[in-house]
């Protein structure tokens, strides 16, 4: 599978959100790039992330544009791969099904400065385009440098989970995963069992792994000064898969959503 943020659109599966998250490039780069500490507020607890605004300014500005526009309110973790990554930023739950695909801003230029080590957050992108990141991101659960640092131009690490935040991320990763068909094959759910799946029980807001909001805590551009993220030293090596972005791990979905109530859920834990 590839780090892909798109699949074929279908009226049966796709619903466009009317909420646009559009900001001009000048606003992205000048108004929000200084905010370097954000808090992820989730149903399993809150954790903080330091953003590397000085070394990956375009990616940070892009991420903060969505934060500023409240685009990440009530979004879900829609993919979880054990010992690899948890991924979100693509879909929101607005009180009922189907899920709503988050409107994407313009693509952002790749900035593969740092290594994809455990606890880092990076931008998802299309497998065929190094400069295609938009709204989706993933948190590395393990040291993924050997493949992600050199694949498809390298994946942009733009921040780092701090404090005891990875305990919460690990709790998210420990949730049972379910196969809802199509590209949503490893969605983590809460308070949902294999018996529920067999009975085709409807998935509700109490089941999704919700990110209630992401907010800026500190706008000081030097809050990451005491961190020492590892540089990506593999970026100059040849990509073994020819730059296709393909590895047997995760599909990052971008332009669609799933009518969840119509598909049987199969426990993947």
The domain ranges of the chain are 25-267
- The confidence score (pLDDT) of residue 188 equals 97
pLDDT tens digits, 166-205: 999 999 999 999 987 776 789 999 999 999 999 999 999 9
- The confidence score (pLDDT) of residue 183 equals 66
Residue 224 has pLDDT above 90, yes or no: no
Q: What is the mean pLDDT of residues 114-124?
A: 98
Indicate the average pLDDT of the chain.
Answer: 80
Q: Name which of 179, 85, 182, 83 is nearest 136 in CA terms.
A: 85
- What global pTM score does this model have? 0.79
Torsion of CA 194, 7, 78, 47, to 10 degrees: 170
Q: Using CA atoms, how far apart are residues 192 and 140, in angstroms rounded to an integer? A: 25
pLDDT tens digits, 70-109: 999 999 999 999 999 999 999 999 998 888 999 999 999 9
CATH top-level class of 25-267: mainly beta
Angle CA 59–63–66, to nearest 5: 150
């Amino acid at each position: 599978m590839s780090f892909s943020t798109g699949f074929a659109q279908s009226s049966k599966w796709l619903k466009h959100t009317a909420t646009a998250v559009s900001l001009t490039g000048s606003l992205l780069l000048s108004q929000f790039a200084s905010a370097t500490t954000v808090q992820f507020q989730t149903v399993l607890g809150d954790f903080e992330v330091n953003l590397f605004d000085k070394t990956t300014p375009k990616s940070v500005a892009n991420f903060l544009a969505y934060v500023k526009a409240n685009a990440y309110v009530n979004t879900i973790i829609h993919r979880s791969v054990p010992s690899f990554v948890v991924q979100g930023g693509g879909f929101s739950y607005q009180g009922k099904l189907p899920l709503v695909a988050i409107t994407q801003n313009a693509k952002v230029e790749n900035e593969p400065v740092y290594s994809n080590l455990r606890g880092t957050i990076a931008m998802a992108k299309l497998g065929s385009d190094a400069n295609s990141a938009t709204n989706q991101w993933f948190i590395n659960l393990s040291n993924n440098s050997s493949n992600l640092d050199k694949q498809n131009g390298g994946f942009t690490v733009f921040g780092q989970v701090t404090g005891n935040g990875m305990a919460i991320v690990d709790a998210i990763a420990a949730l049972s995963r379910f196969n809802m068909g199509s590209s949503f094959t490893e969605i983590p759910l809460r308070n949902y069992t294999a018996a529920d799946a067999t009975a085709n029980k409807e998935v509700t807001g109490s089941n999704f792994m919700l990110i209630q909001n992401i907010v800026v805590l500190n706008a000081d551009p030097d809050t990451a000064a005491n961190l020492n993220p590892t540089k990506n030293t593999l970026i100059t090596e040849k990509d073994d898969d020819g730059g296709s972005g393909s590895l047997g791990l995760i599909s990052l979905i971008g332009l669609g959503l799933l009518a969840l109530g119509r598909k049987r859920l199969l426990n993947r834990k």
